Amino acid sequence: MNTSNGQVRVRFAPSPTGFFHIGGARTALFNWLYARHCGGTFVLRIEDTDKKRDSEEALRVLIDGMKWLGLDWDEGPEVGGPHEPYFQSKRSEIYAEYLQQLRDCGRAYDRDGAVWFRVSGSMSQIDDKIRGKVQRLEEKDFVIVRSDGQPVFHFVNVVDDIAMGISHVIRGEDHLSNSSKHVELFLAFGRQPPTFAHIPLILKTNGPGKMSKRDSGALIEDYAGRNYLPEAVRNYLCLLGWSPKDDREILPIEEIIALFDLPGINKNNARFDEKKLAHINGEYLRRMAFDDFYSRAIPLLRNAGLVDDSSDGAYVRSVLGICQEKLRELAELEHFCAYFFRDDYQRDATAEGKIISSGNSLASVGEFLAALWELGDRWDVESLEQFTQKLAATNGRKTGDYIHSIRFAVSGQSVGPGFYAMVAVIGKDRTVKRLENFLRQYSAGNP
C-alpha cells in the first residue's frame, strides 16, 4: 500500500475516548506541523479496536476538534465522506495477514487461548529525536491477540505504521515505555523502526501532575463552546513544548510551519497556563479585522438579549469598536458590555467597595456633573479628556479621581474600554442620567 520512499509520513492515532484532550490535540498539531514543514503526508488513523469504549459520538468529538483547529489530514477517515480507510476496526484482514507472518517465522504462538509474541532477548535501542538514546530490554513475551480475538494495541499500532509507511512516530512521552515492544515487533517483521519523537508531558497549572481531562481548560471542545478563536488556541498549543527561539508568542501559522522542526521541541515538560491562553486569545481578537469581530460578536449579543432588529446599528458598531481591544474572550462580551444596552446593569461589588472607600467619589461625580455645561454640544473623546483634565487642575484633584468614580457610576465596573471612549459612546444623556442616579443613591447612603 503506502511506503515512505524517503518521504515524511506521520500520523495522529487517537483512540476515541469521548473528549479531545489538549495533550492529544498537541500531538496531532506537532505531527501536522512536521508534515507541513517537510511537505510530507499527515495521516489520521482511528485506533478503535476497543469496541466497548468507542462510539460514534466519541469519534465526532475528535473529528470536530481536528477540523476546528484547522488540522486537515491527507489520508484517513472522512466521516460521511466517500472513503473511510483508516479505522482499525475495519482492518482485521490486514492484521490477520501480519499475524500469519509472525506465526510463520516462529515469533507468534498460542497460550491460554491468546496469541503471544516471542521476544528476541536482545536490547532494543531507539534514537529518539527528543529524548536521545533510550535502551530497554523486553524480557517477557507479551500478548498480541487476546483470548476474545481482539488484537492488542502494540500489535495493530506497529502493523499499521508498517502498512501505512509511517516514517516518523511523534507521540506523547507516556508511550516511550511502549517503544521497546514496538521496536521488537518492527524487527520481527523485518522492518527498520520509524524515527521516534516522544513529546514531553503537559503538566497541570499548579503542582506536579500531568493535565487530566478533569482539569480546567483541558478539553478542546470546551474552547469551541466558549467561542475561543481556533487560531489562538492552536497558536497557544504550539508553544506547549516548542518556541520560535525568540520572545515572540504570537506567530502566524505559516511562520510556525516554516520554523517547526523536531530538534526544536523542548525536552522539559510544558506547563499549562490558562491565563496565557486567554491572553493570546485576546491578542487575536484585537488583531482581527473589525468586520470579522463584529460578525462573531453580534450573535452573542442577540442571544444575550442585548440587541435585536430594532437596535441602532451605528451605536452597536461603536460599542463593539471600543470593546474589541480590551476583551480576552468572546464569552466575556455579554458581561463586558451589557451596560451599554441596559440601564439595569449589575454593579460589581469589589468595584463598589473601592469607590465607596476612596471617600471622594460623590464629590468627584458632583463636580463633573455640575461643570458639564462647559462642554456645550461637544461630546467626543478629545473634548471629554480636555474637560476632565481642566476640571482636575481647577479642583486640585487627580484625573484618576474622576475617571474611577465616573466609570463606576456609568458602568458599575472598575475596568472596561478606554474611559473617554466609553463615556463618548454611551452618550451625554445616558451619562448624565446615570451620574444623577449615582448621586441620588449613594448620597442617601443607600447603594
Interface size with ligand GLU, residues (CB under 6 A): 8
**Between 161 and 180, how does the x/- string for binding to ligand GLU read (CB under 6 A)?**
--------x-x---x-----
Q: In whole angstroms, how close is the CB of 175 to ligand GLU at the nearest point?
A: 5
Task: Determine how many CB atoms are found less than 10 A away from the CB of residue 252.
Answer: 10
CB closer to ligand GLU out of 54 and 367: 54
CB closer to ligand GLU out of 157 and 235: 157
**Binding test (CB under 6 A) with ligand GLU, winner from 4, 15, 55, 318:** 15
Residue 10's beta-bridge partner residues? 42, 168
Least Cα distance to 180 among 167, 166, 193 occurs for 193
Q: Is 47 among the residues that bind ligand GLU (CB under 6 A)?
A: yes
Least Cα distance to 193 among 166, 218, 174 occurs for 166
Least Cα distance to 99 among 89, 114, 84 occurs for 114
Q: Is 157 among the residues that bind ligand GLU (CB under 6 A)?
A: yes
Q: Return the range that interacts with ligand GLU (CB under 6 A); candidates 10-18, 123-131, 254-262, 277-285.
A: 10-18
SS3 21: strand
Q: Return the range that interacts with ligand GLU (CB under 6 A); candidates 13-21, 110-118, 347-355, 398-406.
A: 13-21
Q: In whole angstroms, how close is the CB of 88 to ligand GLU at the nearest point?
A: 9
Q: In whole angstroms, how close is the CB of 171 to ligand GLU at the nearest point?
A: 4
Q: In whole angstroms, how close is the CB of 14 to ligand GLU at the nearest point?
A: 5
Set 51, 90, 213, 267: catalytic member: 213
Q: Is 126 among the residues that bind ligand GLU (CB under 6 A)?
A: no
C-alpha cell at 294: 463584529
Angle at 432 between CA 427 and CA 436, to 5 degrees: 155
Q: Which residue has the cell 473511510?
A: 84
Catalytic residue status for 213:
yes
CB closer to ligand GLU out of 15 and 383: 15
In the chain, how many H helices and how many E strands? 18, 11
CB closer to ligand GLU out of 155 and 408: 155
- The answer to whether 88 and 49 are in contact (CB under 8 A) is yes
| Main-chain phi, psi angles of 115, to 5 degrees | -100, 130
Q: Is 76 among the residues that bind ligand GLU (CB under 6 A)?
A: no
Q: Is 306 among the residues that bind ligand GLU (CB under 6 A)?
A: no
C-alpha cell at 103: 506465526
CB closer to ligand GLU out of 164 and 306: 164
Q: Is 13 among the residues that bind ligand GLU (CB under 6 A)?
A: yes
Q: Which residue has the cell 518521504?
A: 7
Q: Is 194 among the residues that bind ligand GLU (CB under 6 A)?
A: no
Q: What does 137-169 look like in DSSP terms, one character per residue?
A: E--S-EEEE-TTSPBPHHHHHHHHHHHTT--EE
Least Cα distance to 179 among 129, 115, 232 occurs for 129
Angle separating helix axes 428-443 and 419-426, nearest 10 degrees: 100
CB closer to ligand GLU out of 14 and 417: 14
CB closer to ligand GLU out of 95 and 379: 95
**Binding test (CB under 6 A) with ligand GLU, winner from 8, 9, 14, 40:** 14
Q: Cα(361)–Cα(408) distance, rounded to whole angstroms?
A: 9
Residues designated catalytic? 213
> Contact positions toward ligand GLU, by CB under 6 A?
13-15, 47, 157, 169, 171, 175
